[in-house]
Amino acid sequence: MTELTPAPGPRPGPRPQSFQAPQGDLTLLAGTGNPQLAAKIAAELGVQLLPSEAPRFSEGNVFVRVLENVRGRDVYVIQGVHLPVNDNFMELLFWIDALKRASAQQVTAVIPFFSYSKGDKKDEPRVSIRARVCADALEVAGCDRVLTMDLHSPQIQGFFGIPVDHLYGRHVICDHIQKLNIPDLVVCSPDIGFAKDAAAYADLLGTPVVIGNKLRTGHDETVQALEVIGDVEDKNVLLVDDFTISGGTLIAMADILKQRGAKDIYAAVTHGVLSQGAAPRIGNSVIKKLFMTDTIEYRLDEFPNNIEIIPVAPVFAEAIRSVHDRTSVSQLFPEK
């Protein structure tokens, strides 16, 4: 039998460059939730932000308008879903609707912090699965894909029938912490739920990992830290979590770590939600330094000296460029 000769052509596997034409002109639109981050992303990409306006009427109604032709463009709406959560989410829906009605070729919702990702399950009678409702609303409004960072529950990506690109803040945070050369460092998860992510932090930093145990009895953000699984005596500890609202979990766990013989306590979160009074509490705590990214811009209190901001605009810019050029987004996050 004659052996078949493979047909000539490109070899299988990842292509070294984009193999399809980009989706129209790359265009960024800044919602009112993240104007500073949007400006930084635009600067990283070397593009101008799309002229737009979003005035609010006296009764709270928001009106959005795009002030330039977007027909056939590939538009990225940068709008976080943080305080005021519902206002920011509705504004995002209106931007998507306005762009699709103006014949944008593709509209991507860039959501630095998706607050409703906490509502991922029905774990009590007669409650809403809020993240699923939000996913449905984004799709109905005309969103073509979502780009976000550190969802509280990664399985929420399955709520969408459109592509979701999930970015990780731990890489930029770990890059910053490595430069500090903190000796005898141990990574600590505040609870079992974040243990896998804490292990990823520890892997990037080349350190051991320990796990905390906490008890939350209601929905009032009150936390009781119970114990630490692992040895922290005479160690410097890095507490890691995806976000902090009141600072209660981090402060309670930091106190437990001190009682177990830890030396300096550091903390790192991707999203610094920080409700009223949280920043002063952190400033007066045993936490030597809290590192958090700039996915959220508002400040209800002046930040104390032990809070440090790490920029994520370069990560979002690279991801947007990859989506636009139809190259891999996952390559931005090589696991070490």
**Residues labelled catalytic:** 214
Contact in structure between 105 and 92 (CB atoms under 8 Å): no
CB atoms within 10 A of CB 135: 24
CA–CA gap between residue 108 and residue 110 (Å, rounded) = 6
The dihedrals phi and psi of 316, each to the nearest 5 degrees, come to -65, -40
Contact in structure between 47 and 27 (CB atoms under 8 Å): yes
Q: Which two tokens stand for residue 39?
A: 């400006």
180: Cβ contacts below 8 Å, ≥ 6 apart: none
* 202: nearest Cα among 185, 184, 214, 190: 185
108: Cβ contacts below 8 Å, ≥ 6 apart: 74, 75, 76, 77, 143, 144, 145, 146, 147, 320, 323
Name 254's bridge partners. Answer: none
- Ranges of beta strands (E only) in 105-257 are 106-111, 145-149, 164-167, 185-189, 209-215, 224-229, 236-244
CB atoms within 10 A of CB 14: 7
Give residue 105's Cα distance to chain centre: 25
- Counted residue by residue, the chain has a size of 336
3-state secondary structure of 170: helix
